[in-house]
Structure 1
Amino acid sequence: MSRDHETPTEADTSHLMASQRITVDELAVHLSAIDLRLRQLARAAELPATPVELADTIDSLRGTASTVRELGERMTTLARIMDGDIPLRPHLPQGDPWGTAALGTDREDFGGPAVIPTQWQLLRLATEGQRDAESGRETTTYPKGMEGVPRSVLLSWESKAAAARRRRERDAAVTREVLLITCERCGAGSGEHCTTAKGWQADQAHVARQREAELRVDERLGYLGDNPVAVHA
């Protein structure tokens, strides 16, 4: 079957970006396009071909469009920050460093070092950085603050959302793999769940069977224990 006739899936993202990873600027433009399309749908729904009152749907479309527009505007600001157009404060509110300066440090109050800042940290750093610039205090930019962060760190980093999704995918794969393995403890075969000594079926597999399934899946996916060895494109 030609790929042109395949049903698109959530993982089909290559058309959204010019290279292997999407830029924040590309995110902003796509969100702007979605905002416009939602508002167009709301306008078209005012006069459907078959008369029916769609006021609630129209309001919902316009409300969603407003939310999407806010997201797009935020991504636009972040894109400008990342391009170095907006001055940033060189440190976080509690004085903790970020970017290259955070390498090898720790933050007792908030966990690990902020080598890769969050969007909210960057937006706050920008707000405070603009005030500092107006007052003549020292500022920096995102490119300067991140200069020196090893490329290996940048390439191996993934968002919490990506890590959580890959963990769910891994766990689902283990659940499927368990049923392909014969359990040495209770004798459950392919497609069968483990059973107790009394013959009761259980959702939880015996430890050895579960362990074997996890080892197989982790080897296929590139996991080492609970941690992914490589971040897939």
Structure 2
Amino acid sequence: METTYETAAEENTADLMAGNKITVDEIAVELAAIELRLRQLARAAEVPATPVELSDTIDSLRSSATSIRKTSDQLRFLARIVDGDVPLATAFPTGDPWGVAARGSDRQDYGGPAIVPTQWQLHRLAQDAKRAETTTTYAEGMAGVGIGWESKAASARRHRERDAAVAKEVLLIECASCHAGSGEQCRTKKGWVADQAHIGRQREAEATVDARLGYLGDNPVAVPDA
């Protein structure tokens, strides 16, 4: 499993967007800039100030740049779809709807209604539209969808943040079971230090953190800025 490293610097994203949220077009352009910067860095690394062979690093930089360029091109096309320049099929090949039309539908083949389609589903809908008699646009298909929506990545990050906050809160609470004090981990009856807190201590920490963050259990009650 790939380890996810998160730093406070990641939260500083204001310079990436013109409005409150980043657009797909802005992401594509930013990636294009990163691609160019990587290729420039690879070129500069051909003649470093000290005599050391960096061919492996140069190849890696150029390979990463090629991958980023591919992603940028895919998002550039997606931006055209979102802006309504590309017609879309009104349903998937199975006849299943998407967007606002998928509300209340039961789509077992796709694992549930595609109210919010993925970028790859939108790419497929664009391809299918070339042979469809009736087409629609992204704006028409998604009219009214998006209020309170949160991406899977954002939801997973917020859950990680919640779990980290609970882990800190646990150590601030005295355990009613083993009487571990502030800063101390719970212990077994024989005095062994445990990596997990007793249920009562854990439950109290979760309740405190959830009330502070606006969660109900481990589920967010509201999505900020949705």
Deviation for aligned residue 1:8: 6.5
What does residue range 62-101 of structure 1 map to in structure 2 within 5 Å?
Answer: 62-101=62-101
Which residue identity lines up with residue 45 of structure 1 in the other structure?
Answer: A
CA contact (8 A) 1:86 1:130 kept: no
Equivalent residue number for residue 163 of structure 1: 155
- Structure 1 position 160, deviation (Å): 1.0
Identity of aligned residues (%): 66
| Aligned CA distance change for structure 1 residues 120 and 215 (closer, same or farther; 3 Å) | same
Q: 1:148 to 1:11 in 2, by over 3 A?
A: closer
Partner residue in 1 for 2:116: 116
- SS state of the match for residue 131, structure 1? coil
Contact 1:101 1:145 in 2 (8 A): yes
Residues 1:197 and 2:193 aligned together: no
Q: What is the CA–CA distance in structure 1 between the aligned matches of 2:8 and 2:168, rounded to whole Å?
A: 24
Q: TM-score, normalised by structure 2?
A: 0.93
1 CA distance for matches of 2:164 and 2:144? 38
| Aligned residue pair count | 219
Distance 1:110 1:226, change over 3 A: farther
Q: Which amino acid aligns with 1:116?
A: V
Matched with 1:145 is 141
- What is the distance in 1 between the residues matched to 2:8 and 2:58? 26
Runs of 4+ in 1 over 6 A off after TM superposition: none
Q: Which moved more, 1:87-96 or 1:30-39?
A: 87-96
Aligned ranges 1:42-61 → 2 under 5 Å? 42-61=42-61
Q: Structure 1 CA distance, aligned partners of 2:8 and 2:15? A: 11
Residue ranges of structure 2 left out of the alignment (5+ in a row): 1-6
Deviation of 1:148 after TM superposition, in Å, equals 3.6
| In 1, Cα distance between equivalents of 2:147 and 2:34 | 29
Q: CA offsets, 1:136-178, max 9 Å, x none? A: x1111111111243xxxx1311111111111111111111110
**Residue 21 of structure 1: how far off its partner (Å):** 1.0
Q: Against the structure 1 CA distance between its residues 224 and 143, is the aligned structure 2 distance closer, same or farther, given a 3 Å change threshold?
A: same
* One-letter amino acid of the counterpart of residue 165, structure 2: A
- Matched with 1:3 is none
Q: Any unmatched runs of 5+ in structure 1? A: 1-6
State the alpha-carbon separation in 1 of the partners of residues 38 and 74 from structure 2. 18
What residue in structure 1 maps to residue 199 of structure 2? 207
Over aligned residue pairs, what C-alpha RMSD do you find? Answer: 1.4
Letter of the aligned partner of 2:202 in structure 1? Q
Q: Distance in 2 between matches of 1:93 and 1:176?
A: 49
The yes-or-no answer on 1:173 pairing with 2:169 is no
Amino acid at match of 1:140: T
